Amino acid sequence: MATVASTTVGERTGPLDRLRALHREGRLVPAYPEVPGLLAELTAGGDPAGPPAPDLVRAGQLLARLDADEVLAAHPTADAVTVAVTGHSTLSGLTAPLTAELSRHGLLPRLRSGDFGSWFRDLQDTGSELYAARADVVLCVLDAQVVFDELPHPWLVEDVERVAAAKLALIGSLAERYVTEGSGTLVLNTLPLLRGQARRLVDARSRARLGVAWRELNAGLLRLAAAHDRVHVVDLDPLVASSGPVQDPRLAAYAKVLLGDELLAGYAREVGHLARGLRGRTKKVLVVDLDNTLWDGILGDDGPEGIAAATTYRGEAFGRFQKAVGQIGAQGVLLAVCSKNDREPVLNVLRGHPDMVLRETDFVRVNANWEPKDGNLLDIAQRLNLGVDSLVFADDSPFECGLVASSLPGVAVVRLDEEPALHVERLLADGWFDVPELTAEDRARAAQYRTDAARQDLQESAGSMEEYLAGLGVEVELSPVREHEIARVSQVTLRTNQFNLTTERLQQADVRARLDSPGHLVLAIRSRDRFGDNGLVGAVFIDTARDGGGWHIDNMLLSCRVFARGIEQSCLAAVVRAARAAGAGAVYARFRPTAKNHKVGGLYPGVGFVESARGDAGSVDFRHDLAEEALPSVPDHVRLTAHVSRAPAPGAQG
């Protein structure tokens, strides 16, 4: 239950005031779980195309005073993220917005800042504090002066071309060094070219050449993200276009603040999106209202002929919003409807109204009724076998948005207003669905969820769970991960929360490193049934060479789409039997409980593992002695193909 700070009569009770009151009364640390909700209130209704709200930055200034260790002591399950900051210029203006952006996404910031202008030394010296920090994210914030500081006086375009090429090569080599020696994700950025720099050339032809050279430099920086799994590049050009000037010339001259506060705040927002994705907090479902959200008008009052998503100026704005929603849905985000309307008229519009870009088949769930929307969102999450924190809810009603925000704080609420021209910007402002890389499974996800309706029909018609599973025809393949599956396996570790026994998050480079390690097995779980191919739905990570002998299951993960079908028991049976055949003395495993994975706490005991120890934060160690009589078996309704070794499965295609 939320804690409300005490206030005097007449005192304002906005979210920033409540945050200040908690701090003033010494209750901010014990009330820290309330912080994301308060910060979400601060961002609601702000300019979607502009910089973060000033009050959010003020909140960040307050939160930056907190001791992360003190917060962790009070809340051991808080998700702490260590961020090291280095750069070329004065970056003090980054601390407050970065703290606020991380905090509002449920991440507890641990910020480590380097010395002024120390970016080259920090990245070049593997013994530097930047490497020693073992940061989850390293921000190397650069600006155009890294090039212009090295030009002769006077300079020509040829000098810029030469220095820019050398600087790009240097940054590339430093990025490669960090990827090899560092622990986290390195974040670089493109370099905005200032008008005052370009205007120092008096002829238009030279300015054009400078523009080409500068764009080639920035394109080269962006390509570094494609070359390295653990490098991310923030493109500052779109931020500059929406945030105002790159810098204040006076602060740039006197204080070496070469990137202004508004731009740094926008940059911090992008870093917040990235960190959220790295922590597996990417949203999976976009739930939209209909009246005055997907179309102009109210279906129940105006009838089908009175609503529009084309043909009128205002209607065209709704049509653009539908196209943006459809674009997101085509990339693996599940789409659903939550609307206070009668169901049949809604379905008729989605099936046949000439203005509609989106059709019924684009949605995995259409909840159109007169029940409270928070209850409908719970129903959608349950039907999709997802937590409500996987949902983003977009609605134009302040009442409905407030209801959902208060009763379901895990849902990300996108508050649309009466101006449909801003719907797209509001929806996209927070990058709720951002992932490091899109996979084939992402693009097929909506179709896979739609086939689940047929599975549910079979389950409801079956006389028992056993009859349902027997009729489902479950097939499981367990075999080494193939090269083209590395991105998908990394994504499974980042996005799976419910069936994730240790919640260890792995980037693609981490998965590849384990694949290349002689002492590790990285096994992919693939499944299909009578209704279709589910694709790669999970993974098992095994250390076969750890001190003390035996096989150690470092983690096991499974998509929520295929829960309770015997897949997990089948795969563990295959691992245990393979370990015994390989001569291992035992198989060890660990379960680390979180707020989301409690449903799988009994998995290991259910297949013959016994508890051997308990650790910090409720973690439990298990051991299976591989006695013949205790070996688990594959459920009768599952057809399993297992190849538990480092070699590719026979006939496997890479």
Domain 76-278 has CATH 3.40.50.2300: no
- DSSP, collapsed to helix, strand or coil, labels residue 207 as helix
Mean pLDDT, rounded, for 306-331: 93
* C-beta separation of 169 from 217 below 8 A: no
Per-domain residue ranges for the chain? Answer: 76-278, 285-428, 460-642
- DSSP, collapsed to helix, strand or coil, labels residue 262 as helix
C-alpha distances (whole Å) from 44 to each of 47, 125, 401, 416, 653 are 9, 43, 10, 9, 48
pLDDT class for 467, splitting at 50, 70, 90? confident
Q: Write down the pLDDT at residue 6.
A: 37
Per-residue pLDDT tens digits for 574-600:
999 998 888 888 999 989 888 778 888
Mean pLDDT, rounded, for 448-473: 76
Q: Write down the pLDDT at residue 193.
A: 95
Mean pLDDT, rounded, for 304-320: 91
For tokens 């910020």, what's the residue?
Answer: 111
Per-residue pLDDT tens digits for 208-237:
999 999 999 999 999 999 999 899 999 999
In this model, does residue 265 exceed pLDDT 90? yes
Per-residue pLDDT tens digits for 119-149:
999 999 999 999 999 999 999 999 999 999 9
* C-beta separation of 404 from 340 below 8 A: no
In this model, does residue 3 exceed pLDDT 50? no
User: Higher confidence at residue 446 or residue 534?
Assistant: 534
Mean pLDDT, rounded, for 256-267: 92
DSSP 325: H
Beta bridge partners of 538: 525, 558
* C-beta separation of 141 from 86 below 8 A: yes
In this model, does residue 654 exceed pLDDT 50? no
- How far is 453 from 517, CA to CA, in rounded Å? 41
Per-residue pLDDT tens digits for 555-577:
989 887 777 888 899 999 999 99
Q: Write down the pLDDT at residue 648.
A: 54
Q: Do domains 76-278 and 285-428 have the same CATH topology?
A: yes
pLDDT class for 51, splitting at 50, 70, 90? low
* C-beta separation of 294 from 288 below 8 A: yes
pLDDT class for 5, splitting at 50, 70, 90? very low
Per-residue pLDDT tens digits for 137-196:
999 999 999 999 999 999 999 999 999 999 999 999 999 999 999 989 999 999 999 999
Q: Which two tokens stand for residue 377?
A: 């969102």
**Fold of domain 285-428:** Rossmann fold (3.40.50)
In this model, does residue 1 exceed pLDDT 50? no
Mean pLDDT, rounded, for 343-358: 94
In 523-560, which positions are buried (b, 16+ CB within 10 angstroms) versus exposed (e)? bbbbbbbebeebbbbbbbbbbbeeeeebbbbbbbbbbb
Residues 6+ apart with CB under 8 A from 54: none
Q: What sign for the dihedral angle of Cα 87, 93, 99, 105?
A: negative
Q: Domain 460-642 carries which CATH code? A: 3.40.630.30
